[in-house]
């Protein structure tokens, strides 16, 4: 298998792949031609690589928009990676290309889309619905029945109460407490979280 994106985020995914999936990463694709390896894995220029050699791939890019662009451009077999310390309900659904970090929790009847990140210590409670390319940052918590639109990011340590709907491409600031629905493209911060601006 291969990874795409030689970043700090990639280091965590390498650890998950090695320790929890017990798979061998043959190489990491990146456009940075100066770096040669990451955690003893060779960094490879994607443009000159024989794509037919890729049996499985995970995109290791934290930026949601960039991750979407790459996933749409590279047609291959994407797999999910779940750390062995994460707690995932057998009644939850996890999309292809999604990564779930150490100590994260995804509870019953929740649905996680494709190419999402559920980061270290994050909690996704029962019946939540996360669309594709969502990032739930470390120690963020979504109560039950929360819906999160495509490409949105829930900042580190943020809290979202039950039943809330978060639009697409929303940014929720670190430590924010969300008690109202959030429209598309909003940037919200604070306790309680308030809309500060829109990105579109």
Euclidean distance between CA atoms 119 and 100, whole angstroms: 6
Would you call the peptide bond into 159 cis, given omega within 30 degrees of 0 as the criterion? no
Q: Are 146 and 126 in contact (CB under 8 A)?
A: no
User: Of 54, 130, 135, whose CA–CA distance to 95 is shortest?
Assistant: 130
Q: Are 105 and 91 in contact (CB under 8 A)?
A: no
SS3 of residue 165 by DSSP: strand
Euclidean distance between CA atoms 192 and 129, whole angstroms: 22
Cα 173 from chain centroid (whole Å): 16
Q: Which one of the listed residues 83, 115, 126, 135 is annotated catalytic?
A: 126
User: Of 113, 150, 109, 102, whose CA–CA distance to 126 is shortest?
Assistant: 109
Q: Are 63 and 81 in contact (CB under 8 A)?
A: no
Active site residue 9: no
Give 44's strand partners: 29
Active site residues: 126
């Amino acid at each position: 298998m291969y990874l795409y994106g030689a970043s700090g985020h990639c280091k965590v995914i390498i650890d998950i792949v090695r320790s929890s999936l017990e798979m061998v990463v043959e190489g990491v694709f990146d456009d940075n031609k100066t770096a040669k390896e990451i955690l003893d894995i060779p960094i490879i220029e994607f443009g000159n690589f024989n794509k037919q050699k890729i049996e499985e791939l995970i995109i290791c890019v934290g930026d949601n928009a960039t991750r979407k662009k790459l996933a749409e451009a590279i047609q291959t077999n994407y797999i999910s990676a779940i750390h062995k310390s994460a707690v995932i309900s057998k009644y939850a659904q996890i999309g292809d290309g999604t990564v779930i970090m150490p100590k994260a929790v995804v509870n019953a009847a929740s649905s996680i889309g494709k190419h999402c990140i559920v980061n270290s210590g994050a909690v996704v409670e029962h019946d939540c619905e996360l669309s594709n390319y969502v990032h739930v940052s470390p120690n963020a918590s979504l109560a039950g029945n929360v819906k999160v639109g495509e490409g949105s990011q829930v900042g580190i340590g943020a809290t979202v109460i039950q039943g809330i709907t978060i639009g697409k491409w929303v940014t929720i600031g670190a430590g924010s407490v969300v008690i109202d629905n959030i429209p598309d493209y909003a940037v919200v911060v604070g306790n309680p979280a308030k809309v500060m601006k829109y990105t579109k």
